Amino acid sequence: MSSIVSRRRFIHSSAIIGGACAVSGSFAAFAQKRGLTLPFHLGIASYTFREFSRAQMISFLKQLHVSDLNVKDIKDHLPMDPQEEAKALAAYAAAGIKLHAAGAIYFQKDQDADIRSKFEYCKRASIPVIVAGDPTPETLPRIEKFVKEYNIRIAIHNHGPEDKVWPSPLDILKSIKGLDPRIGCCIDIGHTVRAGTDVVQAIRTAGPRLFNMHAKDLTDFHDKESQVAVGEGKMPMREIFAELASIGYTGFVDLEYEVHGDDPMPGVTSSIAYMRRVLTDMGYSV
């Protein structure tokens, strides 16, 4: 019992310290600037809490003062079953958690019934963006038909050099030229740099086709296993945020913390605090 209490105290203390650093570290800069309205939003991908139940995740989100979630059908976060999905939606609504995207959702069958089930799943939840993990270029015309029918955007997620179809956002952008403008990309910045792509340039190139972003940090842009809390690696977050503002991005930057799955809160707390501090230092009110 004592170890559990100690761990809880550590998590709670991390949240307090992270928040305090976010405020005190940027107060002088912020005091000299007028608080600008942040054009985009910070959220969290529920995959970050893949080892935890929906109730536990909601508790973590409250500690982080984050209310925007990119949700995934993992654990009981947002089940595909309509009745279980309804229970999850009620729990999120009661907690003040807003769902802005779902994914990654995988399109493994080039069949109307399978694709429609994914769109119905998001329609029931009033989710406007599907983060798609693996649609092939050949399935895009069929998916486009459902994008038009449901008016739900598709954001294709790049997965780095291991992904033979979509290693970089630039590969996605080449394949979706001429398709409905509601088909775009979810730039995973960690996978993007590992593919050898300049992430700031990728954002600029995507422009209005950028519908979602997954944020993470690496100490080595060639090593997938070098992920750390945002701010502890080499990711140029200030330049990324500046480019997002420059292109008029109004979507979400969702932290996807993929390490320490059994105890993510210290790294998550540090990451959120760092991103807030960078934005505040840039003059934004967050």
Quickly state the pLDDT bin for 21 (edges 50, 70, 90). Answer: very low
Question: Per the omega criterion (within 30 degrees of 0), is the bond before 104 cis?
Answer: yes
pTM of model > 0.85: yes
Task: State how far the Cα of 84 lies from the Cα of 166, in Å rounded to an integer.
Answer: 32
Phi, psi (rounded to 5 degrees) for 124: -60, -35
Give residue-wise pLDDT tens across range 66-108. Answer: 999 999 999 999 999 999 999 999 999 999 999 999 999 999 8
Round the average pLDDT of the chain to a whole number and report it: 90
Structure confidence at residue 102 (pLDDT): 98
When pLDDT is cut at 50, 70 and 90, the band that residue 286 belongs to is: confident
Q: What is the mean pLDDT of residues 184-194?
A: 98
What's the average model confidence in pLDDT over 117-124?
A: 98
pLDDT at residue 108 in the model: 87
Looking at residue 4, its pLDDT comes to 36
User: Which position has the higher pLDDT, 34 or 116?
Assistant: 116
Instruction: Note whether 64 and 276 are within 8 A (CB).
Output: no
Phi, psi for residue 277 in degrees, rounded to 5: -65, -40
pLDDT tens digits, one per residue of 207-244: 999 999 999 999 999 999 999 999 999 999 999 999 99
| pLDDT at residue 34 in the model | 58
pLDDT of residue 35: 81
Query: Looking at the domain that runs over 2-285, which CATH code has it been given?
Result: 3.20.20.150
Pair 214, 176: CB distance under 8 Å: no
- Per residue in 191-204, pLDDT (tens digit) is 999 999 999 999 99
**At what angle are helices 199-206 and 237-246 packed, to 10 degrees?**
10
